[in-house]
Chain A
C-alpha cells in the first residue's frame, strides 16, 4: 500500500469521525447507549454504514483505495456472514438434531430407522437416514479438493443431475411450455363470455410471438414477405429490450434513492 493511500484512508476516517461528532453534539444523531454501556450500537452501525456508502460511491469520481477497502470489507463480511448463517441453519439446526436419535437409541436408530423415527416423533420419512445419506453425499463433494479422489465427487453429481433431470423435464414442460402456449391458442375474436369481440391484446401477442420466432428461423432467406415478418419480429424485440432497459433504469434509481434516504435521513437528518 502506498503512503498516499494510507493518508487518504486516515483522512477519510478523521473527516467521518468529525462529521459524526458534530452530528452527535448538535443532537442531530441520537447517542443513547444501553444502561451500563457507553456505546450506542445502533447509531454506531448507522455511522459505519454511512461511511462505507460514501466510500463505495467515491468510485464514481475515480478508482481509489477507499473504494477498494470498502469493497473488500463487503465481500469478506458477506462471505463470513453467509458461512455462519449456513453453518447454523444447516449443521446446528438440521443435521445435528436429525442425528440425535443415534445418541439416544444407538444402533437401533440406524438399523430400525422407521420405528425410531416414529418413537422420536421425527418428521423425516426415513428417520436418521434422511439426514445421513444427503450429508454423506454432500461431504463427498469435497473430494474434488484431492486430485487422486476427485472422481468420487461424480457420485453426488450423478445423483443431483439424475434427480434434477427427472424432476425438471415434466415440470419444465408443464410450466414453461404447455402453460405458456395455452394463451396463444385462445380465440382472439371472442371474449371470455363467448360473445363476438376482437381481443386486440391477444392478436398483438400472437403476431409478436410468431414474428419473433420467425426472426430466429435462418433456414429461409429473409427476403420479400419473409423480410417483413422478420422485421416485425425485430421491432417486437426492440420494444421488449426498451421495456427491460426502462425498468432497469427505474430499479437502479430506486436503489440510489434508498442510499440517499439512508445518508440524508437516517444519518444526516435533512430529509423530513
Chain B
C-alpha cells in the first residue's frame, strides 16, 4: 500500500476535536500543578497590591467579566482577592459594562475569599452593583464616586460605609485593577482614568487581548498585567513563593475532599483532645453525624456549611493559647524553607500565629492541604501546556507533510 502523507490534510475535523478534548481531559484527571515563572508584569502587580495593603490604602477592582470568560478571569480575581485579604488590604469592587451577567459570580468570588480570610463586608470590601455605561462611568468616577455609585449592592449609601466614607473619587485609590475582556475597555480606562489622574493601573485580560496591551505596558501606562490563564497561574505562583499560604488563615479550600475521611476520623475519635475537641464542639449535631459518616465511609458527607464551621473553628484555635500552648509549639519541627519564610519581616510579626497554624497542619497532616497548595490556574496550566506541545507537534507535522507533498509534485512534474 502506498502511504500518502498529504492525506493528513483531508482528516475529518471531528478527529481533531476529539484529540484536543482528550489532550485536555486526561491531564486534568491527574492533579498536578505546573510551576511557572512569573513575568515582570505579574511581579509589578503583586508588588503594587502588596504595597497598597501594607499602607492600608484602598484598591479599586473593576470586575468586567461574566461566566463566558470566567475560565481565565475567575482565577485572576480569586488570586488578587486572596492576596489582598491575606495582607489585610481593602477593596472596592465594582461591576461595569461587560459584567452585567456576572454579578452572582463576582459575589461568590468575594464571599468565598472573604470567608477564607475573615474579611468583613463594608470594612474590608464593598461591592458596587452593575451599572450600564462604559466610558462615561470612568469619566464620572474621576469626578465623584458617590454620585456615580450612590449605593452598594445591599442598598447602603456609600457615605455610611466605613470603607467608602472617605473615598471621594478615582484618584483616592492607591491602585486600580480592571479585569475585563476587550481592548476597548482597556483603552477607555487608560484614556479617561489613567491619563488624567496619572493613576497606578493594572489589568487582567483574556489571552487574545494580552498582546495588544504590550505597548501600554512598555509606555508605563499599564502597571501590572495578567494575561490569560498563564497570568493568573503566575500570580498564584507569586502567592506560593511569598508564603501567603503560610501566613493566612485556614479556609474551606484547605479541607481537601479526598482526605476528609482521615481528617474526620481524628475529629470523631472519642479520645480527641486539644484542637480536635475544639473543632468537634463547634460542629452542630448534624455536622457531627456527617463527620462520623465521612470517617466511616470513604466519601465526604460534609456540606460546604460544615466545612466553613470547621475552618472557622480552626482559625479560632490558632489564636488560642489554651488550646495550642507554647509547649506544643516548642516541639514543632520546621523545615529550612519555613524557617526562611519566618525570618521575613512581614511574616515575622505573625510568627506565633504561623507556628500555631503549622502545629494544626502537623496534627491533621492528611486532612489539610499544604498551605502552599497551588490554585486552580496552576492546575489548569498542566493540560494547557500539554495541549500546546501537541498543537506545536501537529503544526510541524502538517508543515512537513505540505513540503513533502510539494517536493513530490515537483518531482512528478519534472518526470
Are A and B physically bound partners? yes
With CB as the reference atom, state the residue of chain B lying closest to A270: B29
Q: A93-B151, A248-B207, A254-B380 are in contact. Are A271 and B144 (CB under 8 A)?
A: no
Q: A244-B208, A253-B24 are in contact. Are A123 and B147 (CB under 8 A)?
A: yes
Task: Tell me which of A17-25, A100-108, A221-229, A258-266 binds B.
Answer: A258-266
- Please tell me if the beta carbons of A123 and B150 are within 8 angstroms of each other in the complex: yes
Interface residue from A93, A183, A250, A258 paired with B388 (Cβ < 8 Å): A250
Q: How many Å lie between the Cα of A197 and that of B37 in the bound state?
A: 27
18 A-B residue pairings within 8 Å (CB atoms): A61-B14, A89-B131, A90-B131, A123-B150, A175-B221, A179-B220, A180-B216, A243-B211, A247-B228, A248-B207, A250-B228, A251-B72, A254-B71, A258-B70, A261-B71, A264-B28, A271-B28, A272-B257
Judged by a CB distance under 8 angstroms, whether B89 is at the interface is no
Interface residue from B28, B100, B132 paired with A261 (Cβ < 8 Å): B28
Which residues on the B side are within 8 Å of A257 (C-beta)?
A: 24, 28, 71, 229, 380, 383-384
- Please tell me if the beta carbons of B21 and A123 are within 8 angstroms of each other in the complex: no
Interface residue from B29, B146, B196, B258 paired with A171 (Cβ < 8 Å): B196
Q: How many Å lie between the Cα of A90 and that of B130 in the bound state?
A: 10
Q: How many Å lie between the Cα of A167 and that of B208 in the bound state?
A: 29
Interface residue from B28, B103, B229 paired with A250 (Cβ < 8 Å): B229
Q: Considering the complex, which residues of chain A in the window 10-69 have a beta carbon less than 8 Å from any beta carbon of chain B? A: 27, 32, 60-61
With CB as the reference atom, state the residue of chain A lying closest to B230: A250
Judged by a CB distance under 8 angstroms, whether B190 is at the interface is yes
- A159, chain B: closest CB distance, angstroms: 12
Which residues on the A side are within 8 Å of B72 (C-beta)?
A: 251, 254-255, 258
- Please tell me if the beta carbons of A78 and B190 are within 8 angstroms of each other in the complex: no
With CB as the reference atom, state the residue of chain A lying closest to B380: A257
Most chain A CB within a 10 A radius of its CB, from B28, B31, B207: B207
How would residues 72 to 92 of chain A score, 1 for a CB under 8 Å from any chain B CB and 0 otherwise? 000000100110011001100
Q: How many Å lie between the Cα of A272 and that of B263 in the bound state?
A: 17
Interface residue from A123, A175, A244, A256 paired with B211 (Cβ < 8 Å): A244
- Please tell me if the beta carbons of B207 and A89 are within 8 angstroms of each other in the complex: no
Q: Considering the complex, which residues of chain B in the window 188-234 have a beta carbon less than 8 Å from any beta carbon of chain A? A: 190-192, 194-196, 206-212, 215-216, 218-221, 227-230
Judged by a CB distance under 8 angstroms, whether B9 is at the interface is no
Which residues on the A side are within 8 Å of B192 (C-beta)?
A: 167, 171
Which residues on the B side are within 8 Å of A164 (C-beta)?
A: 135
Chain A's interface size range is 35 or more
Which residues on the A side are within 8 Å of B209 (C-beta)?
A: 247
Q: How many Å lie between the Cα of A260 and that of B219 in the bound state?
A: 38
Which residues on the B side are within 8 Å of A250 (C-beta)?
A: 207, 228-230, 384, 388
Which residues on the B side are within 8 Å of A171 (C-beta)?
A: 191-192, 195-196
- B71, chain A: closest CB distance, angstroms: 3
Q: How many Å lie between the Cα of A77 and that of B21 in the bound state?
A: 28
Closest 7 pairs between A and B when the two form their complex, measured CB to CB = A258-B71, A251-B207, A123-B147, A175-B195, A248-B208, A254-B229, A175-B191
Q: How many Å lie between the Cα of A62 and that of B105 in the bound state?
A: 32
Q: A81-B101, A243-B211 are in contact. Are A123 and B191 (CB under 8 A)?
A: no
Judged by a CB distance under 8 angstroms, whether A111 is at the interface is no
Which residues on the B side are within 8 Å of A255 (C-beta)?
A: 69, 71-72
Judged by a CB distance under 8 angstroms, whether A5 is at the interface is no
- A263, chain B: closest CB distance, angstroms: 9
Judged by a CB distance under 8 angstroms, whether A182 is at the interface is yes
Q: Considering the complex, which residues of chain B in the window 160-213 have a beta carbon less than 8 Å from any beta carbon of chain A? A: 187, 190-192, 194-196, 206-212
Judged by a CB distance under 8 angstroms, whether B333 is at the interface is no
Judged by a CB distance under 8 angstroms, whether B129 is at the interface is yes
- Please tell me if the beta carbons of B130 and A89 are within 8 angstroms of each other in the complex: yes
Judged by a CB distance under 8 angstroms, whether B387 is at the interface is yes
- Please tell me if the beta carbons of B229 and A180 are within 8 angstroms of each other in the complex: no
Judged by a CB distance under 8 angstroms, whether B320 is at the interface is no
Which residues on the B side are within 8 Å of A249 (C-beta)?
A: 388, 391
Known contacts A247-B208, A250-B229, A264-B28; can you find 20 more A-B pairs with CB under 8 A? A82-B100, A89-B130, A89-B131, A167-B139, A174-B195, A176-B191, A179-B221, A183-B219, A243-B211, A247-B207, A247-B209, A251-B207, A254-B229, A257-B71, A257-B383, A258-B70, A260-B25, A261-B71, A264-B25, A272-B257
- Please tell me if the beta carbons of A27 and B71 are within 8 angstroms of each other in the complex: no
With CB as the reference atom, state the residue of chain A lying closest to B158: A123
